[in-house]
Amino acid sequence: MNRSHRTELQAEAARGPAAEQVRVAVLLYDGFTALDAVGPYEMLCRVPRVTVTTVAEKAGLVRNDTGELTLVAERALDSVDRADVLLVPGGSGTKATMENPVVLDWIRHIHRRSVWTTSVCTGSLILGAAGLLRGLPATTFWAGRSYLADAGAEYTPGRFVEAGKIITAAGVSAGIDMGLHLAARLSDEKVAQAMQLAVEYDPDPPFDTGSPEKAGPELQQLALQLLADAER
């Protein structure tokens, strides 16, 4: 989808209640990371004329990567033929999803007519497995950077990276930043700024270890161990 079409979509969103709805599809799969999906959802679900739907290979309950949280996939893949925005989260189920031809074929199909195709964390590796990142800059969870090269992508640091109509976000919480960016793209900056205030997103963490460069090797190892121990 070219820039002019995206501009038209933004114009539609500004015309009023009769304007066409913007359809966002959030892919769920067994072993997804909850905040990868819920963070962007929270930034987008109240934006005027935006509707968000959760989708999985089969409709119904889908467990996250710890097995302690379940979300409902409202629709099955074969019932969703089109979405303006596709969001693919990451999680411990990434590898299995990368090898699932049904999901990959559906992602390719949706991408052909999407306005934006997006990912959070290792969700970018799923986009890569679908062949969507070849020759493009992209980002992912810090421990998965080297795998982007396998998809023909160029790792690019940043909370999120926009390349044409594809936006990839870094690890987990970066999906919130990307969600706000999308809110501005789908509506306008004022609405996105209001959404940031609505959820009081004003990060001021007690520690400054939110990137591997700041954290150092010892904390990197501990972080990966904590993630591995929590997987069901």
For residue 45, indicate whether it is catalytic.
no
* CATH, residue 163: 3.40.50.880
Name which residue leads in pLDDT, 180 or 9: 180
- Of 98, 121, 167, 195, the catalytic one is 121
Name which residue leads in pLDDT, 8 or 42: 42
| Domain enclosing residue 55, as ranges | 3-204
Question: DSSP assignment, residue 20?
Answer: P
Residue 222 maps to a domain: no
Tokens read off for 94: 């990434």
Residue 88 maps to a domain: yes
Q: Are 25 and 50 in contact (CB under 8 A)?
A: no
pTM of the model: 0.91
pLDDT band of 1, cuts 50, 70, 90: very low
Residue 132 maps to a domain: yes
pLDDT band of 9, cuts 50, 70, 90: low
pLDDT digits (tens, 9 = 90+) for 64-117: 999 999 999 999 999 999 999 999 999 999 999 999 999 999 999 999 999 999
Closest CA to 91 of 124, 131, 59, 61: 124
Residue 230 maps to a domain: no
Residue 224 maps to a domain: no
Residue 178 maps to a domain: yes
Tokens read off for 48: 């005027």
pLDDT digits (tens, 9 = 90+) for 16-51: 444 689 999 999 999 999 999 999 999 999 999 999
pLDDT digits (tens, 9 = 90+) for 129-156: 999 999 999 999 999 999 999 999 999 9
Name which residue leads in pLDDT, 19 or 4: 19
Residue 217 maps to a domain: no
What is the b/e burial string over 10-21, where b = at least 16 CB atoms within 10 angstroms of the residue's CB?
bebbeeeeeeee
Domain count for the chain, please give it: 1
Whether 3 shows a pLDDT value over 60: the answer reads: no
Tell me the CB-side half-sphere exposure of residue 19, using CA atoms within 13 A.
Answer: 18
Mean pLDDT to the nearest integer, 176-205: 98
pLDDT band of 14, cuts 50, 70, 90: very low
Residue 129 maps to a domain: yes
